[in-house]
């Protein structure tokens, strides 16, 4: 199915760019029933909607002509939620309308308003901008829209989510009523349909994506991670994919700063995008990604809206998105316009249910598994070295002369080993990661004493001998508790070594662990502070049988909350009882 735009200049521009087959949304807006009508379009990000509405308004702006008349007051106004998306739209429309003589101006926050005002005064055919800046130019008289023929709202749902309702309604009220209004949105919540009924006339509703159709070019993976292993998992995911460019999403600016610092320290070429950056800093970050100086972008949702990088092959959700729409918007940065991409969700144990809910609401089938292992990445590195251009490109005379000199003084094996070392030295080192598994364990109350059942190096007796103290964790088999991730968590949270940990007993709703008495007081103080893993660690009376709830007496009444003070001289348990732990978050 070939493109069939009514405008010949646009058809030639598409052919020059190599566009042969339209996407579903592009085909839908070119149907005869959509001609010159208001449109309410539901289309996923990355579905080619910018080209779609560029084609849809062409007949309204050009009529039967091939070129636009002299530039004056704008004929079309396109509203986008963010600066990045508005500039991306401008870039697309410039080449699409290149043969029509169209003058296109971008008006966005963070740019010089005086320069925008001068460009508007010189005459313009199409204006692309963000709601706040467009309203400001209208109120100051710099933007005149009396001759407007078409109004496009791009990602309308996101504009409402970002709080632009008042600005949008101002623009809709100010524009001529006889205009065409094209409203594009990834989803159509009630607020969008209400706005459409109020400001559109007999709008044709187009649903360009149904079910999984919007995800066919994106491979979704859900990766299980142990608490506090998020950064290690990201390192290994980035190393395994080896994508020309990748974006890692965090939920807060602080998380962006922390993660980007960790990736830079490990040797990744990284840039950041967050709301605290100025427009020039954002532009520099995007340019670094486009020209290959940076390969990883760590960003918040708002800052990354509208990013379109041809080389973006990987999206990583370091923090799970808040809802299914955000999941689709994030993932839509890759797998665009027929290109393949991968979207990876990092799922700690306490977030498994949320991840499953997000995927179900988005109607996405994800492949579950553990993070790539360090050994797997090393094997991939060996394969990639064999296809590296340094080995495959033709050698010059100077190269051959240097090779002969090397062979005269070193063996081929020594030279190959040196080449391998050089290749590895420019790559970030992979990390050792644990796979929590998430599988239910049918053996209730099994004593996972390290060394006997899980080869952790000890039997039921503590390795060093001597007295021990039992501690309680509010996770159990129902939370997929496993010594493979519990042991490193105890070491990190409690600031102790593996040798100071004895038996690990996992029950249905709780876990008991044995800690050497010599470090118990230090462990109790350090482990009390959560490290973002939503797990409570407190002192326990005894190993227990997992039948009664920890922290309650035989009568079921809560115990006291005195802090742990160590064992008494006579070996009896301290008078202070543990506080009642919170229910685990899953």
Query: Which tens digit of pLDDT belongs to each residue from 358-389?
Result: 998 888 889 999 999 999 999 998 888 888 88
Q: Are residues 445 and 561 in the same domain?
A: yes
- Domain for residue 548, yes or no? yes
Q: How far is CA 22 from CA 5, 59, 441, in A?
A: 10, 18, 50
Q: How far apart (Å, rounded) are the C-alpha atoms in residues 513 and 456?
A: 14
Comparing 196 with 575, the larger pLDDT belongs to 196
In a 3-state reduction of DSSP, which class is residue 71?
Answer: coil
Q: Are residues 28 and 70 in the same domain?
A: yes
Q: How far apart (Å, rounded) are the C-alpha atoms in residues 33 and 24?
A: 15
Q: Which range has the worst mean pLDDT, 135-139, 158-162, 435-439?
A: 435-439
Residue 352 has pLDDT above 90, yes or no: no
- Domain for residue 40, yes or no? yes
Tokens for 144, please give them: 């005149």
Q: How far apart (Å, rounded) are the C-alpha atoms in residues 421 and 441?
A: 43
- Domain for residue 1, yes or no? no
DSSP summary character for residue 499: G
The pLDDT assigned to 99 comes to 93
pLDDT band (50, 70, 90) for residue 45: low
The residue among 130, 61, 128 whose CA lies nearest residue 89 is: 128
Q: How far apart (Å, rounded) are the C-alpha atoms in residues 429 and 243?
A: 16
Q: Which range has the worst mean pLDDT, 364-368, 436-440, 563-567?
A: 563-567
The pLDDT assigned to 262 comes to 93
Q: How far apart (Å, rounded) are the C-alpha atoms in residues 430 and 250?
A: 21
Residue 279 has pLDDT above 60, yes or no: yes
Boundary-marking domain end, from 394, 425, 456:
425
Q: Are residues 447 and 507 in the same domain?
A: yes
Q: Are residues 282 and 412 in the same domain?
A: no
Boundary-marking domain end, from 332, 351, 373:
373
Would you report the helix, strand and coil content of the chain in percent, each value rounded to 5? 40, 15, 45
Q: Are residues 455 and 386 in the same domain?
A: no
Q: Are residues 249 and 354 in the same domain?
A: yes
DSSP summary character for residue 393: S
pLDDT band (50, 70, 90) for residue 531: low
Q: Are the CB atoms for 424 and 236 separated by under 8 Å?
A: no
The pLDDT assigned to 546 comes to 52
Residue 514 has pLDDT above 80, yes or no: yes
The pLDDT assigned to 458 comes to 36
Q: Are residues 144 and 262 in the same domain?
A: no
Exposed e or buried b for every residue in 204-227, given b needs 16+ CB within 10 A?
A: bebebbeeeebbeebbbebbbbbb
The pLDDT assigned to 314 comes to 94
Residue 39 has pLDDT above 90, yes or no: yes
Compute how many other C-beta atoms are within 10 angstroms of the C-beta atom of residue 351: 18
Q: Are residues 122 and 21 in the same domain?
A: yes
Q: Are the CB atoms for 44 and 332 separated by under 8 Å?
A: yes
Q: Are residues 365 and 312 in the same domain?
A: yes
Residue found under tokens 């524009």: 175
The residue among 100, 359, 322, 350 whose CA lies nearest residue 225 is: 350
- Domain for residue 340, yes or no? yes
Domain enclosing residue 452, as ranges: 439-586
**Residues 55-76: pLDDT tens digits?**
999 999 998 888 999 999 999 9
Residue 135 has pLDDT above 70, yes or no: yes
Boundary-marking domain end, from 143, 175, 207:
207
CATH code, 50: 3.40.50.300
The CA angle 488-491-494, to the nearest 5 degrees, is: 140
Residue 5 has pLDDT above 80, yes or no: no
Q: Are residues 102 and 235 in the same domain?
A: no
Task: Tell me the pLDDT of the chain averaged across its residues.
Answer: 81
Q: Are residues 382 and 488 in the same domain?
A: no
Q: Are residues 511 and 406 in the same domain?
A: no
- Domain for residue 390, yes or no? yes
**Residues 327-349: pLDDT tens digits?**
888 888 887 756 789 999 999 87
**Residues 543-559: pLDDT tens digits?**
765 543 333 433 344 44
For the chain, how many structural domains are there in total?
4
- Domain for residue 443, yes or no? yes
Residue 528 has pLDDT above 50, yes or no: yes
- In the chain, the N- to C-terminal Cα span, in Å, equals 48
- Domain for residue 2, yes or no? no
Residue 306 has pLDDT above 90, yes or no: no
The pLDDT assigned to 213 comes to 43
Torsion sign over Cα 127, 130, 135, 141: negative
- Domain for residue 430, yes or no? no
Please report the DSSP string for 513-525 in residue order.
EEEEHHHHHHHHH
**Residues 98-120: pLDDT tens digits?**
999 999 999 998 788 999 999 99
């Amino acid at each position: 199915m070939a493109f069939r735009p009514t405008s010949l200049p646009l058809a030639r521009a598409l052919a020059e760019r190599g566009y042969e087959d339209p996407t579903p949304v592009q085909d839908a807006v070119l149907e005869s029933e959509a001609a010159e009508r208001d449109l309410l379009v539901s289309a996923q990000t990355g579905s080619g909607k910018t080209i779609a509405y560029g084609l849809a308004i062409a007949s309204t702006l050009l009529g039967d002509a091939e070129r636009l008349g002299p530039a004056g007051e704008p004929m079309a106004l396109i509203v986008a939620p963010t600066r990045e998306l508005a500039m991306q739209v401008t870039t697309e429309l410039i080449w699409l309308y290149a043969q029509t003589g169209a003058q296109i101006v971008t008006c966005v926050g963070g740019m010089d308003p005086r320069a925008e005002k001068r460009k508007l005064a010189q005459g313009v055919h199409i204006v692309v901008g963000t709601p706040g800046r467009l309203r400001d130019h209208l109120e100051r008289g710099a933007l005149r829209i009396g001759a407007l023929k078409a109004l496009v709202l791009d990602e309308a749902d996101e504009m409402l989510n970002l709080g632009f309702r008042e600005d949008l309604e101002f623009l809709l009220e100010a524009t001529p009523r006889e205009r065409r209004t094209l409203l594009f949105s990834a989803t159509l919540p009630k607020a969008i349909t209400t706005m459409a009924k109020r400001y559109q006339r007999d709008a044709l509703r187009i649903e360009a994506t149904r079910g999984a159709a919007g995800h066919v070019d994106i491979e979704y993976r859900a990766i299980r991670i142990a608490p506090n292993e998020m950064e290690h998992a990201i390192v290994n995911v980035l190393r395994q994919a080896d994508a020309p460019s990748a974006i890692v999403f965090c939920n807060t600016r602080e998380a962006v700063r922390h993660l980007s610092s960790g990736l830079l320290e490990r040797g990744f070429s990284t840039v950041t995008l967050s709301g605290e950056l100025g427009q020039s800093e954002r532009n520099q970050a995007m340019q670094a990604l486009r020209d290959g100086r940076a390969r990883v972008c760590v960003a918040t949702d708002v800052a990354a809206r509208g990013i379109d990088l041809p080389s973006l092959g990987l999206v990583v959700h370091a923090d799970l998105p808040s809802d299914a729409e955000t999941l689709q918007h994030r993932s839509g940065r890759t797998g665009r316009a027929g290109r393949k991409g991968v979207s990876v969700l990092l799922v700690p144990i306490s977030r498994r249910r949320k991840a499953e809910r997000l995927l179900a609401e988005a109607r996405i089938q994800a492949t579950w598994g553990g993070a790539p292992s360090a050994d797997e990445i090393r094997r991939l590195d060996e394969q990639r070295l064999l296809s590296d251009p340094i080995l495959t490109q033709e050698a010059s005379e100077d190269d051959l002369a240097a090779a002969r000199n090397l062979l005269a003084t070193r063996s081929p094996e020594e030279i190959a080993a040196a080449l391998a070392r050089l290749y590895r030295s420019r790559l970030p080192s992979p990390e050792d990661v644990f796979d929590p598994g998430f599988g239910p364990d049918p053996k209730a109350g099994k004593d996972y004493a390290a060394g006997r059942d899980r080869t952790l190096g000890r039997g039921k007796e503590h390795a060093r001998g001597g007295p021990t103290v039992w501690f309680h964790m509010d996770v159990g088999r129902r939370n997929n508790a496993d010594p493979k991730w519990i042991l490193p968590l105890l070491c990190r949270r409690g600031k102790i070594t593996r040798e100071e940990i004895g038996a690990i007993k996992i029950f249905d709703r709780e876990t008991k662990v044995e800690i050497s008495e010599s470090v118990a007081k230090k462990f109790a103080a350090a482990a009390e502070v959560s490290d973002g893993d939503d797990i409570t660690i407190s002192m326990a009376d005894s190993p227990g049988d997992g039948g009664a709830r920890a922290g309650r007496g035989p009568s079921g009444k809560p115990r006291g909350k005195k802090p742990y003070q160590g064992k008494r001289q006579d070996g009896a348990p301290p008078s202070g009882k543990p506080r009642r732990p919170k229910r685990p978050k899953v």
